[in-house]
């Protein structure tokens, strides 16, 4: 009987329960790979709250890291690789440009290596000049060092193929089916169904939440609408403070912080429109979730968002608060149009971004290397 392919996932904070994009992808795909017959190990941060040895058939290994903005990922990825190169795995799968340089070490010790690029990380504003330089090195390593490079969006494929000569393959992120959740907790927050605009993503500068706040304040007739802002703060406390200052004179703007799964589902299910004003994305899982819940989507017109939304949502000029205000005003005035966009978004997700299909694509990559 043929032994199962043994794959180690490196570069995330671990599973389950983390809200980061990479972590959610690994949490969705790894158990499905196990169901397909693979032997999967995920390396997790030692500070993870979940401390079991397995999760839905996936083996979990806990690795020390230095939980700071600059050292967390690379230290954990390096130590995970050092542990794994002496183990039985056939393939090491690294996630993110920040983890890609460890592919060299893995290859020296005879491992097959896959790297997934989840975004052009060096473009994110949170990084210093040194951080951006390191991530550009990591991006090059993600192309040159592994046996196969995966990207999660068509825009990333276009950008990296143009830069490095067509080596990468496109496998998107996916989304679970999302049943509607009736309003309950949001009512206790003073928020009525279909009477709020929703921002639900990380509160970091490149997500451009400040543009949404500026746009919301420009809408002449809000008809009792609120702007609800929810999401975690990741090394961006100064930016969040600036958002609160910008919004302080408008009682219709609510900051909820990071929310639990039940409230998250309510927020997506009952919003009038979901807005993602990002200037940089790989493939936004928040946007995928919003579409799966059937939200009316309003997103910046960067290529990553445009590829994902297609004709199932509304795009506005990136960084332009006045254009965003005009788009929101128009869709608020036309409830029938908003409902049409909700139906289109839900249909697009169920037909094109299925985790089972995506897991089989990952499996095919692994099989091609063994």
In a domain, 194, yes or no: yes
In a domain, 164, yes or no: yes
> Which residues does residue 229 pair with via DSSP β-bridges, in sequence order?
199, 255
With cut-offs at 50, 70 and 90, classify the pLDDT of residue 312: very high
In a domain, 83, yes or no: yes
| SS3 sequence of the chain | CCCCCEEEEECCCCCCCCCCHHHHHHHHHHHHHHHCCCEEEEEEECCCCCCCCEECCEEEEEECCCCCCCCHHHHHHHHHHHHHCCCCCCEEEEECCCCHHHHHHHHHCCCEEEEEECCCHHHCCCCCHHHHHHHHHHHHHHHHCCCEEEECCHHHHHHHHHHHCCCCEECCCCECCCCCCCCCHHHHCCCCCCCEEEEECCCCHHHCHHHHHHHHHHCCCCCCCEEEEECCCCCCHHHHHHHHHHHCCCCCEEEEECCCHHHHHHHHHHCCEEEECCCCCCCCHHHHHHHHCCCCEEEECCHHHHHHHCCCCEEECCCCHHHHHHHHHHHHHCHHHHHHHHHHHHHHHHHHCEHHHHHHHHHHHHHHHC
**Mean pLDDT for all residues in the chain:** 91
Q: Which of 12-21, 41-50, 90-99, 247-256 has the lowest mean pLDDT?
A: 12-21
Do both 224 and 317 map to the same domain? yes
Q: Is 56 left (phi over 0), alpha (psi -120 to 50) or beta?
A: left
Other beta carbons within 10 angstroms of residue 282's beta carbon come to 21
Do both 159 and 209 map to the same domain? no
With cut-offs at 50, 70 and 90, classify the pLDDT of residue 137: confident
Do both 346 and 233 map to the same domain? yes
The residue-averaged pLDDT of 337-356 equals: 91
The residue-averaged pLDDT of 285-303 equals: 95
Do both 307 and 212 map to the same domain? yes
**Percentage of the chain surpassing pLDDT 70?**
94
Do both 241 and 165 map to the same domain? no
- The structure tokens 């005003």 sit at 329
Do both 35 and 129 map to the same domain? yes
Is the predicted pLDDT of residue 122 greater than 50, yes or no? no
Enter the pTM of the model: 0.81
Do both 155 and 85 map to the same domain? yes
What span, in angstroms and rounded, lies between the C-alpha atoms of 125 and 127? Answer: 5
In a domain, 338, yes or no: yes
In a domain, 285, yes or no: yes
Q: Which of 110, 17, 148, 20 is nearest to 73 (CA)?
A: 20
Do both 94 and 218 map to the same domain? no
pLDDT at 44: 95
Is the predicted pLDDT of residue 126 greater than 70, yes or no? no
In a domain, 180, yes or no: no
The two tokens of residue 63 are 């690795």
The residue-averaged pLDDT of 5-27 equals: 91
Do both 283 and 168 map to the same domain? no
Q: Which of 304, 295, 237, 244 is nearest to 271 (CA)?
A: 295
pLDDT tens-digit profile of 219-242?
988 878 999 999 988 677 899 999
Q: Which of 282, 17, 7, 288 is nearest to 150 (CA)?
A: 282
The two tokens of residue 231 are 């999401």
pLDDT tens-digit profile of 38-95?
999 999 999 888 889 999 999 999 998 887 766 888 899 999 999 999 999 999 999 9
- The structure tokens 């400040």 sit at 210
The domain in which residue 103 lies consists of 6-174+354-369
Do both 159 and 191 map to the same domain? no
Do both 140 and 253 map to the same domain? no
In a domain, 179, yes or no: no
CATH of the domain at 37: 3.40.50.2000
- The structure tokens 């199932």 sit at 312
Alpha-carbon dihedral of residues 304, 309, 314, 316, nearest 10 degrees? 0
Considering its fold, how many domains does the chain have in total? 2
Q: How does strand 273-276 pair with strand 297-300?
A: parallel
Q: What are phi and psi of 297, to 5 degrees?
A: -95, 130
Do both 359 and 346 map to the same domain? no
Q: Which of 177, 106, 147, 149 is nearest to 356 (CA)?
A: 177
The residue-averaged pLDDT of 233-255 equals: 90
- The structure tokens 């049943």 sit at 179
What span, in angstroms and rounded, lies between the C-alpha atoms of 82 and 319? Answer: 43
Q: Which of 75-84, 145-154, 227-236, 337-346 has the lowest mean pLDDT?
A: 227-236
In a domain, 67, yes or no: yes
């Amino acid at each position: 009987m043929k032994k199962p392919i043994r794959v180690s996932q490196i570069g995330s904070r671990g599973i389950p329960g983390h809200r980061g994009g990479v972590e959610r992808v690994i949490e969705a795909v790894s158990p499905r790979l196990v169901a397909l017959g693979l032997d999967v190990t995920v390396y997790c941060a030692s500070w993870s709250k979940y401390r079991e040895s397995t999760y839905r058939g996936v083996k979990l290994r806990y690795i020390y890291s230095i939980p700071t903005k600059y050292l967390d990922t690379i230290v954990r990825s390096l130590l995970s690789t050092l542990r794994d190169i002496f183990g039985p795995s056939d393939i090491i799968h690294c996630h993110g440009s920040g983890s890609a340089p460890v592919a060299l070490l893995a290859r020296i010790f005879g491992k097959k290596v896959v790297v997934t690029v989840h975004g052009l990380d060096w473009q994110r504003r949170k990084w210093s000049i040194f951080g951006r330089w390191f991530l550009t090195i990591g991006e090059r390593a993600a192309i040159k060092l592994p046996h196969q490079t995966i990207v999660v969006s068509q825009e990333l494929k276009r950008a990296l193929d143009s830069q490095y000569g067509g080596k990468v393959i496109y496998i998107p992120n996916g989304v679970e089916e999302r049943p509607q959740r009736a309003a309950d907790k949001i009512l206790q927050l003073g928020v009525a169904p279909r009477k709020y605009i929703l921002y639900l993503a990380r509160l970091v500068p490149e997500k451009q939440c400040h543009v949404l706040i500026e746009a919301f304040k420009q809408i002449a007739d809000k008809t009792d609408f609120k702007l609800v802002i929810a999401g975690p703060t990741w090394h961006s406390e100064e930016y969040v403070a600036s958002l609160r200052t910008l919004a302080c004179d408008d009682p219709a703007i609510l900051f909820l912080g990071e929310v639990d799964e039940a409230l998250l589902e309510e927020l997506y299910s009952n919003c009038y429109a979901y807005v993602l004003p990002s200037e940089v994305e790989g493939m936004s899982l928040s946007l995928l979730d919003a579409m799966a819940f059937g939200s009316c989507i309003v997103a910046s017109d960067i290529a990553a968002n445009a590829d994902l939304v297609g004709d199932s949502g509304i795009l506005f000029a990136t960084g332009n608060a006045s254009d965003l205000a005009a788009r929101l005003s128009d869709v608020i005035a036309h409830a029938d149009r908003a409902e049409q966009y909700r139906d289109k978004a839900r249909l697009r997700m169920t037909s094109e971004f299925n985790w089972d299909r995506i897991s089989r694509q990952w499996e095919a990559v692994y099989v091609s290397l063994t």
